[in-house]
Amino acid sequence: MTVQSKHVRIKGIKDGLVFLLDDKCPFEDLLSELRYKLEHSHQNILTGPIVHVDIKLGSRSVSEEEKEAVLDILKSQGNLLIRSIEALEEPGGKDTDALFMVSGMIRSGQVLHHEGNLLFLGDVNPGGSVTCTGDIYILGALRGMAHAGVGGNQESIIAASLLSPTQLRIADVISRPPDEWETRESSMEFAYLSSGAMQIDKIHNIVKLRQGLNVFKGV
């Protein structure tokens, strides 16, 4: 069912909600209506279990600050988990090194996907998944599945405060963890590819890895 409004439409899909935001109205008007709708309307969809949300901003060109303004409103509702946000980048091109930050908890059966590099503040429980086209940094425990470099970027990495996954995947390389995962030291580690094989190292060594890649590229 689609809820009609002037600038904001909320569409229910099989596994969550899609917020369709008008790309022609003034941005401040869009924020005001989105805030009003979440605070005063549709409380039936904003209570209860976690709901995945996809945000579509149409052909509107937005900055990272404007994206954050939209996300701040949606994240004020505790049961909404932002899964994706689609919009044109502001003129000047996309910063491929930028980190997109999301906080929450990924439970069994839930999937969080992002186009770019992702910083997730929270735990990923067994049965939960995090996927993105760039790097994945998890400030929390990774006990589910993580797939970085979706689309084939073999230079992507997966880092977590506690690396205890059911499965890691970088580009098309899949690694199932050994039995000793649970007995590893509880310090932040990261997974990366070396000669097509999955490797694990301490997070402080990421600098050496990145420097090596830059030298190889001639940067």
pLDDT of residue 79: 77
Residues 176-202: tens digit of each pLDDT: 665 545 555 667 898 999 888 888 888
Average pLDDT, the chain: 80
Phi-psi domain of 92 (left: phi exceeds 0; alpha: psi -120 through 50; beta: other): left
Which of residues 94, 109, 132 is at a domain's end? 94
What proportion of the chain, given as a percentage, has pLDDT over 90? 25
Same domain, 133 and 85: no
Same domain, 24 and 132: no
Most confident of the ranges 5-9, 51-55, 78-82, 136-140: 136-140
Among residues 120, 187, 197, 116, the alpha carbon closest in space to that of 154 is found at: 197
Is the pLDDT at 136 greater than 80? The verdict is yes
- 64-75 helix and 27-40 helix, angle to the nearest 10 degrees: 10
CATH code (residue 131): 2.160.20.70
Which of residues 35, 68, 94 is at a domain's end? 94
Which H or E run contains 103?
strand 99-103
Q: Are 133 and 76 in contact (CB under 8 A)?
A: no
Same domain, 87 and 100: no
CATH code (residue 12): 3.30.750
Same domain, 112 and 192: yes
Same domain, 150 and 215: yes
Same domain, 41 and 121: no
Same domain, 104 and 89: no
pLDDT of residue 211: 64
Same domain, 58 and 127: no
Instruction: Copy the structure tokens of residue 161.
Output: 């405060």
Same domain, 123 and 215: yes
What does the DSSP 8-state code read for residue 182?
Answer: G
pLDDT of residue 146: 95
Residues in contact with 178: Cβ distance below 8 Å, sequence separation at least 6, in sequence order: none
What does the DSSP 8-state code read for residue 207?
Answer: H
Residues forming a β-bridge with 142: 124, 163
- 42 — pLDDT class (breaks 50, 70, 90): low
Residues 84-134: tens digit of each pLDDT: 777 765 545 455 567 788 888 898 988 888 888 988 989 999 999 999 999
Same domain, 88 and 172: no
- 214 — pLDDT class (breaks 50, 70, 90): very low
Same domain, 64 and 104: no
Same domain, 71 and 102: no
Check residues 144 and 44 and name the one with the higher pLDDT: 144
* Predicted TM-score of the model (pTM): 0.59
Which H or E run contains 52?
strand 51-62
Q: If DSSP codes are grouped into helix, strand and coil, which group holds residue 157?
A: coil
Report the domain count for the chain.
2
Which of residues 94, 111, 146 is at a domain's end? 94
Q: By residue range, what is the domain housing residue 64? A: 1-94
